[in-house]
């Protein structure tokens, strides 16, 4: 048994968990990109108002 971030992984289940974890990671990265774009846009608008 392997314990990672408080999640116990059974070696038999490890492959399934790895695929699940990887898909979650990819989804999280995509969400983060969208959030970063939104934040960047917000700051851009804010600084445009600030400068003008």
Residue 3, CA distances (Å) to 8, 14, 24 in order: 4, 11, 18
pLDDT digits over 1-52, tens only?
A: 555 566 666 677 777 777 888 888 888 888 889 998 988 888 888 887 776 5
Provide DSSP, 2-45.
Answer: EEETTEEE-HHHHHHHHHHHHHHHHHHHHHHHHHHHHHHHHHHH
């Amino acid at each position: 048994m392997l314990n990672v971030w408080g999640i116990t992984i059974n070696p038999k289940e490890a492959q399934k968990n790895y695929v699940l974890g990887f898909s979650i990671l990819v989804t999280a990265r995509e969400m983060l990109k969208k959030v970063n774009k939104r934040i960047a846009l917000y700051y851009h608008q804010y600084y445009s108002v600030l400068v003008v």
